[in-house]
A and B are shown apart, each in its own frame.
Chain A
């Protein structure tokens, strides 16, 4: 079963920052927080992941609370093409032997003009 809780849906104005929250209060010490998104009728796309430090890449920033029980994905300047379902997943990492991803219901983000 999924071990994360996310809002069902969110709206964001184009050009503004989109902040997507995720609760993972039962996360284990060796589990990472992963974020993926799925645009309609496509395979999921990797966005970012982290263990305890905040992370940033060309797509987004990931802010993880100090107790690691929640996190926020930030899309700094949302565009219409960012409209998708965003999944927050906890998973044991480990390269080619990494654990499976169990998807929850995700957050449906709608970016509006």
Chain B
């Protein structure tokens, strides 16, 4: 199946710094990508829909100035957690619709720890 890759898989940063997470579709193009966040022992929560060439669409309660999303090409979306705080520590996962059959393919996830 199609492959979605995230980088970095793990990141530790100090409080107040910004962290960028990349999501790439490796062998297909994706005009839309989705970003999720998952806290321990909880389900995935959709944060935003990333749209190539236009602004991202954020879910209710997600701060767009806190979580900056850029989808500058058909194979790359980035999520930047700005001025990160310990409560932003979480597992961030991206996904993209496959090229033919419609199922979403997920990246491996990026675990952010803010000290």
Please give the residue numbers on chain A whose beta carbons come within 8 Å of chain B beta carbons, in ascending order: 32, 34, 36, 38, 41-46, 49, 85, 87, 93-98, 100-106
Contact = CB atoms under 8 A, between A and B. Distances in A.
A100 B46 contact: yes
A50 B101 CA distance: 11
A95 B101 contact: yes
Contact of B103 (A42, A49, A105): A49
Nearest to A93: B102
A38, A85, A106: most-surrounded residue (chain B CB, <10 A) = A38
Interface in B92-108: 93, 95, 97-108
Contacts of B30: 96
Given A46-B1, A102-B46, A103-B44, A96 B99 contact: yes
B104 A101 contact: yes
Interface of B: 1, 4, 6, 29-32, 34, 36, 43-46, 49, 91, 93, 95, 97-109, 111
Given A96-B97, A100-B46, A46 B34 contact: no
A97 B107 CA distance: 18
Contacts of A49: 102-103
Contact of A43 (B31, B98, B99, B109): B109
B97 A106 contact: no
Given A46-B104, A101-B46, 16 more contacts: A38-B44, A41-B109, A42-B109, A43-B93, A44-B106, A45-B106, A85-B43, A96-B31, A98-B102, A100-B46, A100-B49, A102-B46, A103-B36, A103-B43, A104-B43, A105-B43
Contacts of A98: 97, 102, 104
A32 B29 CA distance: 23
Given A95-B102, A100-B34, A106-B43, A41 B93 contact: no
